[in-house]
A and B are shown apart, each in its own frame.
Chain A
Amino acid sequence: MKHIQTVNKPSLQATKNAGGCGECQASCQSACKTSCTVGNQVCESKK
């Protein structure tokens, strides 16, 4: 495309009905830990 460059292969819609295995790390969002916010994580099954 001339006007748009997509930088990722988005997976959110595809994981609506797949996933939920729960093997990923807990993700504290408070300031006293490392704020391992959900968005900063990688899916455990895709590592």
Chain B
Amino acid sequence: MNIEMKKRTHRFVQSGMYILLDINSGAVHVVDKMIYDIMEYFDGSNDSEVIAALKDSYIEQELSEAIGELHELMEINQLFAPDISVPPTFKSKGLVKSLCFMTAHDCNMRCKYCFGDTGEYGGERQLMSKEVGRAAVEFIINNSGQRKHCEIDFFGGEPLINMPLVKDVTEYVRKREKETGKIFKLTLTTNGLALNDANIKWLNDNNISLVLSTDGRKETHDNMRPDAGGNPTYDRIMANFRKCVDSRNGENYYMRGTYTADNLDFTKDVEAMADAGFDILSMEPVVLKDSPYALTEDKLPEIFAEYDRLTDFYMKRHREGKGFFFFHFNMDLSNGPCVAKRLAGCGAGHEYYAVAANGDLYPCHQFVGRDRYKLGDVFKGVENEELPQYFRESHVLNKEKCRDCWAKFFCSGGCHANADLFNNDIRIPYDVGCEIQKKRLECALAVQAALNLEQAEHKAPDFISCLE
């Protein structure tokens, strides 16, 4: 068979479904076992070879019929769709669309897995000044071209310990929106300790989206996320989150957690969040090197099995009418991003920058403190011209490991900072991250397939039993 054609599809079994993904069209087909087996051999032009290989397992006439259906998909470009090259819509230079403010290089928690050295980012504890904050707003306005939507994420450390800066920048942004016609989406990521009544009211009044960090079960959370004095924090932050989310009618927030080698049964942590009454959730794999909490290759089978459990749990709650939104399973298979966006990926270093508390610019928040990635500052702008171009061109079609990977148009090549951390090269992806990402994507595709089929249940063919 023609191996090049085989590289254009990915088949897998997930949650009782046989799924065939056509990589270059994005078509997702739920198929029967016969088609699944046929795809081991079929390359679009070797019908008799396929029949010869499978005639002991299936009736020849049925094999021919099934292969006929595959030819029908080929005719409408939903099987073996042609490879995608860099389109003209992917401009050679990116427009800045998003900034991450390192509002405070300091934190009131001491999470054991913190990539930012509990806020210091390899430097000193420091708060961002209003001058830096306002200059950063001007930087994004001046470098976003015709783009109307701009984003700022107040990040840290813990941004709530520098509320004067958050308030000043927000006020300044609203003024500049009126003057420039830009629309800013503002987000703040918080650990919840300083989420008092006054802060909650102000965040609601100013339409700030919130990302709320907790790790799920009380024991998981308290083990990993003590305060600066070493005390447990779960009861305090959950009371604050409850009050906060209720006060914004359960909207405009995400609750996110991190799982480590210590809680590979993280479905129970997602369940704990859902049972606590929160329904917009995310649970992320920790990224650590040389740590007892690290997710290493030997743990992958256990992690994969846990994603199977999470998928089952997600669908069970959905079918019980108690569904929740889980970020990684959220996917619009028909209206996803364009090819240009899938190449641009996260945009780090060309569309997205992080502003350190002192005003230095880095490709993203994860790179802050890695000296060789300093690109300039908010006062003088980006002075390093080579690195942003290198980031722009480090897309999936230029990375050897990504080029032939079935997941490339979903993950867009993964996290550059993780690639740099593990391989000292943003073009060599972080292996364990890739494996987790691919499993998560298979689960997401299965969830979306099941949800789509449930909607069209009356016309689902007999071979689909996953919905029973």
In the bound complex, how far is the Cα of B364 from the Cα of A35, in angstroms? Answer: 13
Of A16, A41, A46, most B-chain CB atoms within 10 Å: A16
Q: Which residues 1-44 in A have Cβ within 8 Å of B in the complex? A: 1-13, 15-20, 22-44
Report whether A43 and B338 are in contact in the complex, using a CB–CB cutoff of 8 Å: yes
State the majority secondary structure of interface residues on A: loop
Interface residues of B in 144-188 (CB under 8 A from A): 147-149, 151, 153, 185
Q: Return A23 CB to nearest CB of chain B, in Å.
A: 5
Contact (Cβ within 8 A) A22 B97: yes
Q: Which residue of A lies closest to B33 (CB)?
A: A3
Q: Which residues of B contact A12 (CB under 8 A)?
A: 24-26, 81, 84, 336, 339, 342, 409
A38 to B305, CA, bound (A): 24
Q: Which residue of A lies closest to B342 (CB)?
A: A38
Contact B28 A7 (CB under 8 A): yes
Contact partners of B287 in chain A: CB under 8 A: 30-31
For A38, the chain B residues whose CB sits under 8 A away are 337, 341-342, 345-346, 409-412
Report the separation of the CA atoms of residues A37 and B460 in the bound assembly, to the nearest whole angstrom.
Answer: 30
Specify the chain A residue showing the minimal Cβ separation from B409. A12
* Contact present for A13 and B411 (CB under 8 Å): no
Does chain A have a CB within 8 A of B261? no
**B148 → A minimal CB distance (Å):** 6
Residues 386-440 (chain B) with a chain A CB within 8 angstroms = 409-412, 414-415, 417-418, 437
Assuming A2-B69, A3-B35, A4-B29, is B346 touching A29 (CB within 8 A)? yes
A16 to B343, CA, bound (A): 11
Chain B 55-91 near chain A by CB (<8 Å), digits 1 or 0: 0000000000110011011000110011010011111
Number of interface residues of B (CB under 8 A): 94
Write the nearest CB–CB distance from B184 to chain A, whole angstroms.
Answer: 12
**B254 interface contact, C-beta 8 A:** yes
Partner pick for B89 among A4, A19, A42, A46, CB 8 A cutoff: A19
Which residue of A has the minimal Cβ distance to B281?
A34
Contact check, A27 vs B345: say whether CB atoms are below 8 A apart.
yes
| B217 CB → nearest A CB, Å | 19
Chain B positions within 8 Å of A36 at CB level: 327
Q: Which residues of A sit under 8 angstroms from B461, Cβ to Cβ?
A: 1-3, 5
A25 and B29 CA atoms in complex are apart in Å by 28
Q: Choose from B87, B364, B449 the contact partner of A16 (Cβ within 8 Å).
A: B87
Given the known interface contacts A5-B29, A18-B89, the answer about A27 and B335 at a Cβ–Cβ threshold of 8 Å is no
What distance in Å separates the Cβ of A35 from its nearest Cβ neighbour in chain B?
6
Which residues from 267 to 299 on chain B have a C-beta closer than 8 Å to any C-beta of chain A?
282, 284-287
CA A37 – CA B256 in complex, angstroms? 14
Q: CB of B27 within 8 A of chain A?
A: yes
| CA A25 to CA B97, docked complex, whole Å | 8
Which residue from chain B places its CB closest to the CB of A44 in the assembled complex? B149
**What CA separation (Å) do A37 and B335 show in the bound complex?**
15
B303 within 8 A of A: no
Candidates A10, A22, A25, A44; contact of B27 at CB < 8 Å: A10
Given contacts A5-B460, A12-B25, A27-B347, contact A32 B365 (CB under 8 A): yes
List of A residues within 8 angstroms of B82 by Cβ: 13
Interchain CB contact under 8 A, A25 and B415? no
- Closest residue of B by beta carbon distance from A42: B332
A28–B353 CA distance with the chains assembled, in angstroms: 11
Q: Are the CB atoms of B29 and A10 closer together than 8 Å?
A: no
Q: How far is the CB of B327 from chain A (nearest CB, A)?
A: 5
B441 at the interface (CB under 8 A from A): yes
How near does chain A come to B189, taking the closest CB pair, in angstroms? 7
**Interface assignment of B247: CB less than 8 Å from any CB of chain A:** no
Smallest Cβ-Cβ distance to A28: which chain B residue: B346
Query: Do A26 and B147 contact each other (CB < 8 Å), given the known contacts A19-B338, A34-B211?
Result: no
**Cross-chain pairs A/B with CB under 8 angstroms, 27 sampled:** A1-B72, A2-B65, A2-B461, A4-B30, A4-B31, A4-B70, A5-B453, A5-B460, A6-B73, A6-B78, A7-B30, A11-B26, A12-B81, A13-B81, A15-B338, A16-B339, A22-B95, A22-B147, A22-B344, A27-B345, A29-B411, A30-B364, A30-B365, A31-B287, A35-B327, A40-B327, A40-B330
- Chain A interfacial positions (CB closer than 8 Å to B): 1-13, 15-20, 22-44, 46
- Besides the contacts A3-B461, A5-B460, what 13 more A-B pairs have beta carbons closer than 8 Å? A1-B461, A3-B32, A7-B333, A7-B449, A16-B84, A18-B89, A24-B337, A28-B352, A30-B287, A30-B365, A38-B412, A39-B410, A40-B328
Q: Nearest 10 CB-CB pairs, A to B? A: A19-B338, A20-B89, A39-B410, A20-B340, A26-B98, A8-B333, A15-B338, A12-B26, A31-B284, A10-B26
